[in-house]
Amino acid sequence: MIPRNPTEAHRNFFQEVHEVVRLVPAGRVTTYGAIAHYLGARHGARMVGWAMMAAHTADAYVPAHRVINRNGQLTGRLHFATPTAMQEALEAEGVRVLDDEVQDFRRLFWDPTTELE
DNA sequence: GTACTGACGGCTT
DNA sequence: TAAGCCGCCAGTA
C-alpha cells in the first residue's frame, strides 16, 4: 500500500492508480472499476478515469492503454497522442482489438484485487 | 456560489 | 436479458 500525504491527497491518489496500472502485465488489460475496487472503491470509477487523464503528467511511464472500461471498449483512445495509439499499443502486446473493443476481454482481464490480493 | 461535465459502474425497472 | 437512471469526486464555466 502506498502511504498518503494529507497535504497532497489527490496527488497520492494519482500515484496509487498509476502504481496499479504499472503492475498490469503486458498483453493483459484491467478496468477502471477494478482499480477503484482495489483501492477500496472510496472514489468512484470516474475518479480513476480522471486520474488516467493525468497519467501523461506522471514522472514514471503509465501503460494507460491497458486500462479500459468494463465493456472492454477503448473509451479513452481519444486522449492519446493519436486516436489509434491505444489500439496499436495493445495489438503490439498481442491483444486483439476490433472496432475499439478488446476481443476475448474476459480472458485477458487482469483484476488487481485477485491477482495482487 | 451554483451547475454542468467527465478515460465509469452498479443497481433498478 | 436489455435498457435506463443515479451516484461517485474534482475541475471548470
Count of beta carbons in the 10 Å neighbourhood of residue A15: 19
pLDDT digits (tens, 9 = 90+) for A12-35: 788 889 889 999 999 999 999 999
Identify nearest nucleotide to residue A55 by CA to C1′ distance.
B7
Q: What mean pLDDT do residues A50-57 have?
A: 86
Instruction: Check whether residue A86 has its CB closer than 7 Å to nucleic acid strand B.
Output: yes
- State which amino acid sits at residue A21: V
The pLDDT assigned to A77 comes to 87
Instruction: Check whether residue A46 has its CB closer than 7 Å to nucleic acid strand B.
Output: yes
The domain ranges of chain A are 6-109
**A6-109, which class in CATH?**
mainly alpha
Count of beta carbons in the 10 Å neighbourhood of residue A73: 15
Instruction: Check whether residue A9 has its CB closer than 7 Å to nucleic acid strand C.
Output: yes
Please give the distance of CA A104 from its chain centroid, rounded to a whole number.
18
Q: What mean pLDDT do residues A67-79 have?
A: 90
Q: What mean pLDDT do residues A71-91 have?
A: 89
As given in the structure block, the three cell numbers for residue A116 are 495482487
Instruction: Check whether residue A45 has its CB closer than 7 Å to nucleic acid strand C.
Output: yes
Q: Is the pLDDT of residue A4 over 70?
A: no
Give A62 CA → B1 C1' in Å.
37
